[in-house]
Every structure is written in structure tokens, then in C-alpha cells.
Chains A and B, each alone.
Chain A
Amino acid sequence: MTDHSRRQFLRGIGGSLLALPWMKSVARAGSAESVPQRMVHFYVPIGVVRRGFFPGESGDVIPKGNLGNVMKSLGKQNPSFSVQPLEELTPTMQPLENFKHKINLITGMDRTFQQGTDVHAQCASCYLSSAVPYTVEGTAWPLERTLDHIVADQIGGQTPFRTLEFSCNSHLDNKESIYFDNISWYGTGHLAPSIRDPRRAYDRLFSTNEVTTLRDVTSLVLEDARSLHRELAVSDQRKLDEYFESIRTIEKQMDRLSAMKAELAKVDFEEPPEAYLPRGEYIRLMGDLMVVALQAGLTNVATFMVGPERWDTPYMFESLFDTPRSHHQMSHNQTKMIDDLLKVDRFHMEQYVYLLEKMDQVEQPGGGTLLDHTLITYGSGLGDGSTHQYNDLPIIVAGGGDRVKSGQHINLPEGTPLANLWLTQARMMGVDMERFADSTATVDSLIA
């Protein structure tokens, strides 16, 4: 009975039970050192309604219409550094009530907009790279290898998947470009595409297909790639490098997946249905897949877009409104739609909290939960959907266990680059780096 009671269950889609795959391993190798650190980024598109999210701004003016050229706060930002205990939560943050002791609210962080690209496209695609404007040559985007990949270089080396990218984008129209639907990039112009379809994600993680037969194929085509490389101009060679990298990554992935085969067989996760899922269920199913991947050791690094940037096309937020709505269009109409927008913000926060709950239920060998061994950051590339501001972004860092000081509201002085937080996280993950993108320092109040 004790054995059984220690067993944790995660409730999967449609009430099916997701059993923890690690129980036997826990008994055998229960040392804390063997538990890897993980990092997750949860991206919220189109900013938030400031009045609902930021402490002290509840009485601020509601931005009128699309204030695309403003790109700064309408209200006054607290210009000085402060760290306070996180006590009363703002309405949008209220779903986090039970996690107050495991999170930090960080305000006052900025990104610098580089002129010449769409504001929504850049706020998503450059969120995790934040390069100094105009330093990346040959592109209009301040976009370099993103934080998740830099961290994965450090902690993703042993898992089958270095990183996993999820995007809860259920749009059927091919309306927006890749810059709206991806926060994860291997490098400038080199996209790490996200999975939108839960069935595809499931197949990728748990497919029982025998992949080892691909081994001799990959060595054959690699030889083609080598000979082709010699025939190409330099710029084209760089493009072809994507092919080399992909093949080599897959080769490693195949080895590791086959080594984990027995463990993975224990994962009890119902195959996602083909049928249409209401938006919340769809997001949570994608979330379940991400959590199980982290839990099962399939990856240590993941990014999760709760929706794509902009993408005007309305869709149903089943639990919120009767008709399909466009988050983006509403954001340009805050004076009128503020209540509905607050519902959307809160809905996104609930999905974030769902993930925290899931992760906090997974016990790890040597104590602590999966959440305690993961830095999971909520954030948006816009500080507000109307002002389109790149400053004072909404950021919440959860998890990290005793390596992180938690339960605080950290306000950073005006002009603090978001990259400071990314540098801090990279170092916490063991990356030895002096500077990340346009960073100027680390966020020391976060470090225990």
C-alpha cells in the first residue's frame, strides 16, 4: 500500500490517468544530484492589460485604441529598484495564490525595439534573444540563438530532445509569417519550429515506430550533404549546415530514445484525440505533453506559446465568450473591451498555473518536485497590447526550488534589459557566460 500511495497520478485528457514513469528508478537511485535542472518559457502573446496585472497600476489610464507609436507606459513606472514580499496579488495574478511562495513577480524589464520590422513579429521572435539592435548583420531582426538553445547546449546534451517547442496555435489560415509563431531559434534566420498539433507531439515523444532502421539512411545522406557542401557558395553552405545539424541531432536522439525504451514503455499517456478540442483543453493537453516530456527525461528545456502573436483571426475561447474573438483586435480597443481582455489575461494565467500545479505534483528523487527543479517563466514581449510597449514587461519566474529566493516582487530600475534575467537564468543553469545579448548585469535578488 505504501508503495501504491507514493505513486502519483496526473490526470490526463478525458480523465485518463497518467502514471509517473519514474517510480522504480526513484527507489534505486534516489540522489538529488541525479535530478537535472530544467527550464521552461511560457509565452503570452499581445501583452496584458496593465491595470489588471501590475501592482499599483489599477487606477492608471486605459490606453485608447491602438497606440502603436507610443511604445512606452502611459502611467508612471516606478523608476527605482525595490524588492518587496509578494503579498496581495493583482486580479490577473490571482490564480497564482497557492504558488505565492514559489514565484517572483519581476517588473521593470525592457527590450529595445529595432526599427524596421513588425512590432508583434519582433516581440515574439526576439523575446528570447534580445540582441543589441543593429548588431546582427544581414537581417532586419535583432535575433540570435535564443536562450533556450544556449541553455540546452549546457543541460540538453543527454536527453533525447535537446529542446521541445510547443505553440498552441490552432489557426487554420496561413496568415502570419514564422516570426509570429516562434520564440525559439537556433540562430539568425534558423527557426526551431514549434509543434502545434498534440497528436504530432505525442507521436514524436512516444511513437513506437522503430527508428533505428533510419541509422544507415542518415549516414548515407550525410555523405551527400558533405559532397554537396563543396559545390555551394558560402552563403548557401551556411543554409545547408542546418541539414547537417538536423541529421546529427536526430542520430543522437535515436540512440537516446532507444536507450530509454524500457522506461518510456511505462509512461501511460492516452493518445490525443483527433477531434476538435475546446481552447482550454487543447492548451492543457499540450501542457500535459510538455510536463510528461520533462518528467520522463525526454528533454530538459521547453518553450510554450499559449497562443501566437497577433494573428487577427478570431477563434473561440470556449469558457469565456459565446462568439469567436480576436485577442489582437480586442487589444486595440481596450477602452471598450477591457473586461473581456482581462478575462483573456486571466485565462492565460490559469493555463500557466495549471502547468505549475502539474509540475508541483511530480515528486523528484531526493526531495522536491519537478517544479522545484525547473525555472518556468511566464512572460510577454509586449508590456501592453495597445501601447505596444517594449518596456516594463510582465514577467513571472516560478520554480527553481531552494536555488531561488521566492515570494518577492522585484522591481528593476527603468531601462533594465530583459536580457539581464536571461543571463541570470543561463548562469543558474550552469552556462558560463559573461554577457547575454544586451545584458548589463544579473538579477541578483533572484538568487538564493
Chain B
Amino acid sequence: MLSITRFVLAAAATLLFTGFALAEESLPAQADSRDDVFQLFRRHCVSCHGEDGNAEADVDLVHLDAKSLEANSELVRDLFGVLDRREMPPEEERPLGESDRSRLLSELRGMLAQSVAKKSAGTLTPIRRMNRFQYNNAVIDLFDLRCIVFTLPERTMREHKGYFEPASGKMADVVHVGNRPLGKSQMIERRLAGVAAFPQDLRAEHGFDNQADHLSMSPLLMESFLTLGQSITQSPDFTEKNVGIWNHFFQPPDASAKRDNPQAEFVSEISQRLDRFLGRAFRQPVSKSLLERYVAFAFSKIESGTSFTDAMKATVAAVISSPRFLYLYESASAENDYALASRLSFFLWSTLPDQELRDLAESNTLHRSDVLKQQIERMLKNRKIKRFCDSFPTQWLQLDRLISAVPDREKFPGFFFSKYRDSMHMMLEPLLLFETVLIENQPITQLIDSDFTYRSKLLDEAYGELATGKVSVGGNGAVTVLTFQRVPITDRRVGGVITNAAVMTMTSGTQRTQPITRGAWFASVIFNDPPDPPPADVPALEEKPPVEEEQMTLRERLSLHRERSDCRGCHEQIDPLGFALENYDPVGRWRDQYDNDRQIDSQGRLFREHEFQDVVEFKDTILREKDRFTRALGGHLLSFALARALEPSDEIALDEIVRSTVENDDRMQSLIKAVILSPSFVDQAPVSNPLETLPVTP
């Protein structure tokens, strides 16, 4: 009874809000509407996808019936995607009329919602090993260390003189920063002596270095973890001075106090200390038997003559080698908030939950949306959010590609200064923009087209024509502590993460720009729609044009090199994105002409719909499609938060994430909140009723 009421209500709500025709496709009519879908496939798609043995992109729409299509939610999602972005049918094929397109889209959307709902189990966040960034943070917090464990180049931007104050909701106008991988001496930090880091985990195919399927365990790595347990606790720096929990954990209990039963009290003291410690390390209360094992371990050390402090050190060395510490996981049985606390904490802080999160988990109130919202706000204001800034933006923007970008020295001598490269400064600009948008809770459209940026003097001058000329502080040739100043932007050719020198340089070759690389970067990062890896049988362009091509523009040269029709599908999608940025040379400076004096042609069409003449109009068209960017960034965040690639069910969650973010003026913190409150993040159970979560199609 209840479920019928819910069904009707939900269906009514759908009609009311979306205006797209789900109700009229109620069950009897469904068969017909599915027929329409297949008719449209036959008319527009099958000549490349199914007929005569053609199955481009491995898609066969001939040998497929309604049932198998509905069962294949990945395919439904992909079909929806290519239609939604107007990638298919390709330009040279018979065009798909607008009404047919929306019909197909709404049908596919309906199928997606249903197929997702039919799945018996929701997509659990998979078990995963901590990566070394998380391990570093978790160990620091577990012992309340006053230094770091290891210095990690993947934490690109080093903070000097403490500018980062998220609680203030305001970024300082002048900040002092360093570049760990590219700056001078930036890897020299106060840390535990004698502790060696385990190797960096490589990025996953689909993005981040925290993805479950890429983080496996091997004897080699396990050796590192076991050795780390020893070397951390044996480090000469692991002392009262550096270890915050020293006094109430490693310090021997007061021996002078009078005791009735010294031995029992001693054991009980150890037991109490370890109970608290294990609960923190393992992110949930520990069972009696587990506690007893660790107590017995510590006690046996003491009995064999080890000092109290050393026995406790030996015990915690084991704790941080335990799978309950090293792995993040959802317990299949537990119906509690501890897992949520851990997920939340590792998403925003890359570390263990703190006391407050643990308390809320204990009272089983964390999942309540009012409590959760409050916690997100608190966490966003805590300095630990710096760890999010240390991991997410660099990886999202793929900025580590800049580390190895070395333009030709003769052609771009200005890129080099003393023994260093301008990229040391460049790399920090988008990171500072991201931090500002986050802690000032600005609209994420600032990441596309900002009205301010942070520049150092050196960086501003390197921009040439695009310099703001407003950087007044800091020296010119700094290589350790770099001074960046917030400057307003009036020239819309600069600003945002898409046109800055860092991205322009890392997506170029040594001699020339690479519009396809830029386009692929853009599609992946800004629209979360990475092109397939290039199986293009097209010769890569030579860095220097051969004689017969010397008078051509890059666009002409590329089209000359791309004659096959089956490449067009992808290139129609990514080329306009790359060519829109052609005015930026291989080190991010503005140019109107190529070296051969040919005019640069950056015009194009976005999603085969919006014409643009230059990069400023290009930014306008992206802003017009800003909800796609919101969805993309939301998707990146969700994948980062859940440590896995997105699945069809997440599309439904993303619909709601976008809606809620739009309602809140596209603000960054609202987006993060919406990601956390989404069923994909909160519920580790099946999506309940498809109609309740049915999407709103713009």
C-alpha cells in the first residue's frame, strides 16, 4: 500500500517538475515507445553500428532487443552521453531531428533510471589500501605528530608563513608558497628522521591516485609497511617533543601511586590506553577479543623485559601494519555511521575521522542530513581541508604533467631562469585559484572565467601581453619561497584554469602547441568526457613543419594529416576545444599569428551548437553550458570520494548534485555538499525507488 502511494506521488512529482513524458509511458505504452527507439536506431545509427558487420566503437544496435538494452546500463549511459553532447550522429550523416533527439534522450534516461534501480545491490565503495598521502596524514593524526612522516612531491604547493585560513572564509591577498617538485629545497621539511616513504601510487586509468582497483598489496609493499611501523616508532624524532599523544600513551603510568593489585591495574591501564588508540586507528570501536590480542602483545613485551614505552611503541608498530588500519572499507554487516565518518574524513581531509566525527558516529546521528551538513561546513573550515587542496586539484587538472614539460630552450629562452623553469611559478596559479574558490565559497564558474588570479612578479612578466602589470610585491627570481599576489583580471583572455600558462605549457610539445592534446585535456578535465585513447592511424605532426607545410596554419596541417572519416567522430568533439586555445603559444603567451605570419584561427563550435570566434566567446559558450561543467566537476569529485570510476547509477546521483548546486549559485562548497549528500556517497545500499530519484533533464 505504502509503495503504491509512493509510486503515484513520485510519478506525479516527476510530471510536475520535469515536464518530460514519463507518465504517458506508463506500462502499457512502454512497448511502443521502445519500438520508437529501435526505429530511430535503425534510421540513424545502424549503418555504422551493427549493419554489414560494422560495429564502430564496438557498438552494435542491430543485434539488440529492448530487454538486453535495458539490462546494459553502461551502454544506455554511453548512448545517452553521445546524444546529449551531440557527438552522434556525426556531421556527415543524416541529421537527427530535435524532437527525435529529445525523444531518444528521454527514453534512454528512463531506461537508465530503471536499470539502475533493478540492480539488487547498490554500488559499494570498494575496499582499498591507503595511498601514501593518506598514510602520511593518518599517521600524523594518529600520533598527533608535530612534523610530517615523509615529504611528498605530490603535495605540489608548499605553504610558507601560514596563509591558509579556511575558517576566515577569505584567502590572503599576498601568499608565500613553494613548489615541491620544481622549486629549490622545497622537499626539505621537518619530518621523522630515518623514515623512508614507500613508492608513489600511480594514477588510475580513470583519474586519481586513490582508486581502489589500482591500489593493491604485494609482499614488496607489505614489507614497506612492516618496516615503516618500526622505523616510525624508532625514529630519533619520535619523542615526547614531537608526539602529541606521548604523555597519555607512551609515558609509563605513575608508579608512585598506591595500588592494591599492581599487576591487574597495570594491565587495565594498558587496556584502557589501547582501547582508545585502536578505536581511533581502526575508525570504529574494537571488539573485546581484538583488544585482548593487542594487550597481550604489549604485556608480553613488558614481561620479556622491554620498557613500558618501548613495548607500547612495538604495539603501535603492529597497529599501523594491521589491515584494519591500512585498508579503508565498508563492513558488510555494520549498520552504523562509522563507515560514513571514515568516508567523509578521507574525502575531505584524507585522514582518519576526528573525535567529533567519531562521537556522531557513536550516537548514530551522523547520517542525518542536518548533522551531516553541519559537519561538512565544519570540515570545510578546518585547516585539514588543505589536504584536499593538496590532492584533488593537482590530480583533477593533471598538473603533474607540467613537471616534465620542457619547451625548446632556443625557441623559448624566457622560460628558463638561473637553473630553473617558469613552470615552478606557473603550476601554483591554478592551485591558488582553486583554493580561493573553495575557501571563499565562490561560484565554480570562476574556474572557467575568473575575475582575479594569483601571480608572482616573475609569472606576471612571463605572460607578456597577458600580464596584469599589477603585481607589486615580491622579488623576481625567487626559487624557494615565492610571493604571489591576488590581482584583479579585466582581460578575459586570462583567468580560470583553462587558459593559464601551466595548462597551456603542459599540453604543448617542445616546439609547438598540440591542439589535440589540449582538446583531450579539456574534454577530460572540464567535461569529464575523456576521448578514447587515440588509435588514430594518422602520423603525428612533426614538431617542425616540413618545407611543403611551412606556409600552413596548424589547423590546416592537422586536417591534411587526418583524412580518414572514422577519425572524425572523436575529433569533431575534441578539436574545437583545442583550437579555441590556439592563441596561447607553447608557454602560455598570447599570439595572433604563427611564426610563418599566418593568422591564428581559433573559431569553432561547441557541442556542434554554439559558435564562437575567439577564446573569450569560447568561454562564454562554456558558461552557457555551465551545468555540464558542474556535472563534470561533480563527477570528478564523486569518483575521488568513492575511490572508483563512475557507474551508470551515479548518473542519477549527479542529476541531483547539479540541480542542488545550481540552486545555490554554483558555489563550490555547495557542490561538495551535494556530492556528499548524494545517494552514491551516503547510501551504501541499493537506490530505493527509481521514480523518486528520477532525474530532471534540463
Contacts and interface: CB of A to CB of B under 8 A. Distances in A.
Interface string A59-72: 00000111111100
A69 B536 contact: yes
B10 interface: no
Interface in A163-194: 165, 171-179, 181, 186, 189-193
Contact of B127 (A174, A191, A240, A333): A240
Contacts of A154: none
Interface in A236-254: 236, 239-240, 242-243, 245-247, 249-250, 253
B576 to A, nearest CB: 22
A192 B218 contact: yes
A177 B324 contact: no
Nearest to A241: B217
B216 A191 contact: yes
B322 interface: yes
Contact of B538 (A65, A119, A193, A217): A65
B213 interface: yes
Contacts of A26: none
A365 B229 CA distance: 41
A235 B126 contact: yes
B119 to A, nearest CB: 14
Given A65-B538, A175-B400, A221 B318 contact: yes
A205 to B, nearest CB: 12
A67 B331 CA distance: 49
A373 to B, nearest CB: 25
Interface stretch (B76-84, B401-409, B666-674): B401-409
Interface stretch (A34-42, A91-99, A226-234, A376-384): A226-234
Given A64-B539, A191-B216, A250-B223, A314 B317 contact: no
Interface stretch (B199-207, B252-260, B349-357, B437-445): B199-207
Contacts of B181: 172
A242 B216 CA distance: 7
Contacts of A178: 202, 214
Contact of A333 (B203, B318, B406, B542): B542
B329 interface: yes
Contacts of B542: 333, 336
Contact of A65 (B223, B322, B404, B539): B539
B416 to A, nearest CB: 14
B226 interface: yes
Contacts, number: 173
B334 interface: yes
Interface in B188-244: 199-200, 202-205, 209, 212-214, 216-223, 226-227, 229-230
A69 B329 contact: no
A66 B321 contact: no
Contacts of B97: none
Nearest to A239: B127
A64 B203 CA distance: 32
Contact of B323 (A64, A221, A324): A221
A15 interface: no
Interface stretch (A208-216, A277-285, A398-406, A426-434): A208-216
Nearest to A337: B542
Given A228-B324, A233-B124, A233-B332, A66 B537 contact: yes
Contact of A179 (B205, B220, B332, B540): B205
A221 B321 contact: yes
Interface string A294-330: 0000000000000000000110000000001000010
Contacts of B212: 239
B420 to A, nearest CB: 15
B217 to A, nearest CB: 4
A68 B535 contact: yes
B154 interface: yes
Given A174-B200, A174-B203, A224-B324, A191 B536 contact: no
B28 interface: no
A180 B529 CA distance: 22
A224 B323 contact: yes
Given A173-B404, A220-B297, A224-B324, A232 B536 contact: no
19 contacts: A68-B537, A69-B535, A174-B154, A178-B214, A190-B216, A190-B218, A214-B226, A228-B324, A231-B331, A232-B332, A233-B332, A236-B127, A236-B332, A242-B217, A243-B326, A247-B222, A249-B222, A250-B222, A314-B406
Contacts of B58: 115-116
A143 to B, nearest CB: 12
Nearest to A69: B537
B202 A232 contact: no
The 4 closest A-B pairs by CB, nearest first: A65-B539, A246-B222, A236-B127, A313-B404
Contact of A176 (B202, B222, B226, B230): B202
B534 interface: yes
A115 B317 CA distance: 45
A228 B323 contact: yes
Interface stretch (B105-113, B286-294, B450-458): B286-294
Nearest to B506: A173
A195 interface: yes
A332 interface: yes
Contact of B290 (A119, A174, A218, A224): A224
Interface residues of A, number: 68
A251 B226 CA distance: 11
Given A174-B203, A174-B209, A333-B540, A243 B124 contact: no
A70 B537 contact: yes
Nearest to A246: B222
Given A232-B329, A236-B126, A65 B540 contact: yes
B698 interface: no
A255 interface: no
B463 interface: no
A225 interface: yes
A197 B202 CA distance: 15
Of listed A69, A209, A329, residue having the most chain B CB within 10 A:
A69
B472 interface: no
Contact of A242 (B205, B218, B230, B404): B218
B327 interface: yes
A237 to B, nearest CB: 9
Contacts of A227: 287, 289-290
B326 to A, nearest CB: 8
Contact of B218 (A172, A193, A253): A193
Of listed B203, B212, B322, B331, residue having the most chain A CB within 10 A:
B322
A155 B542 CA distance: 49
Contacts of A209: 227
Contacts of A116: 58
A196 interface: yes
Interface in B330-382: 330-334
A328 B271 CA distance: 58
Nearest to B211: A177
Contacts of B297: 216, 220
B390 to A, nearest CB: 14
Contact of B202 (A181, A218, A333, A336): A181
Contact of B220 (A119, A204, A217): A204
Contacts of B227: 209
Contacts of B327: 228, 240, 243
Given A224-B324, A243-B323, A174 B537 contact: no
A173 B203 CA distance: 10
Nearest to B535: A68
A153 interface: no
B533 interface: yes
B363 to A, nearest CB: 22
A67 B537 contact: yes
Nearest to B395: A174
A179 B202 CA distance: 10
Contacts of A270: none
A97 B321 CA distance: 51
Contacts of B209: 174
Contacts of A253: 219
A246 B539 contact: no
